[in-house]
Amino acid sequence: MIEYLYYRDPTPHIFFPELLPPKIYAELVFPTIKRAPNGRIGRDLYAGEPGYAEVIASPGWHDLHTTFTSPSFIRWILDLFAEDLDRLGCKVDPSKAYYEPYIEPREMVQGVRGAISDKDLNALFTRFDLQTAEKDYGRYVHLDRIRRLTGGLLFCSDYREEGLIGGEFALCRDRYFANDRHCLWPRVAKTFAVQHNTGVIFLNANTAFHGPQRIFDLAGSRKWVYHAISSHQPVWSAQDRSLPRDLCFKAKNAAKDSWKWLRPHVS
């Protein structure tokens, strides 16, 4: 069993202090990833793309991929978060959910916000995406696609080795939370340093606002796996909210030092 720590606040998540036994993790070599269009950050490698199969078949990667994409792991996550799934209104029924392998094309990752097929809501698949960011990397407080049951990061680099100042993974609260999957005024609630062989997986509920902290310096690169358990259908419900213009303006000005008001990023 993988060692983990479960937390309910600020949103249900688990922290893995060790993804793999150190000797196995030491065999893992993160590949050089070229820039490609229609990705999340510019340097990402997805399942089904050239070079991906060779990477996940290599030492270290084989163990990491097998562990975090297996049907037994998905079942463990469903069982672990069962109470939270019910409490937060997830549409997936853990008793009926099942794993059905699927490769979600690159064009759907960013291009499709809702359903991607007419498959059963309880048919789940995983994403295990390799990602590399440089000094100019900056993403905003967001939630992942509404079809993602969970999101997460498995870190494959270390801030000390990469000369990274900032760039921690942050979970946030919204001061104007309205259960609508929009973070109007974020406040950092918890951070995780970029460290080898550690990871965070969170329910992609309406409370799961997250994003990287500002990067002040980075000599090397920030490397991680984006991990998700996903349905083909939306699995969360968002309430509608129409805020008065003056309130939006007030929140925007008050939050301008916390984040940048640009198009939200989703995964």
pLDDT tens string 169-183 = 999 999 999 999 999
- Structural domain spans, the chain: 5-254
Residue 266: the pLDDT is 44
Q: What is the pLDDT of residue 259?
A: 43
Q: Are 58 and 29 in contact (CB under 8 A)?
A: yes
The tokens for 156 are: 């494959």
Query: Which mean pLDDT values do the consecutive 10-residue runs of the chain (267 residues) have?
Result: 93 98 97 86 92 97 98 97 96 96 91 90 98 85 96 98 96 95 94 98 98 94 97 93 54 47 40
What pLDDT shows up at residue 174? 96
The closest of 139, 127, 107 to 226, measured between CA atoms, is: 127
User: Which CATH number is associated with domain 5-254?
Assistant: 2.60.120
Q: What is the pLDDT of residue 241?
A: 63
Distance (Å, rounded) from C-alpha 241 to C-alpha 83?
27
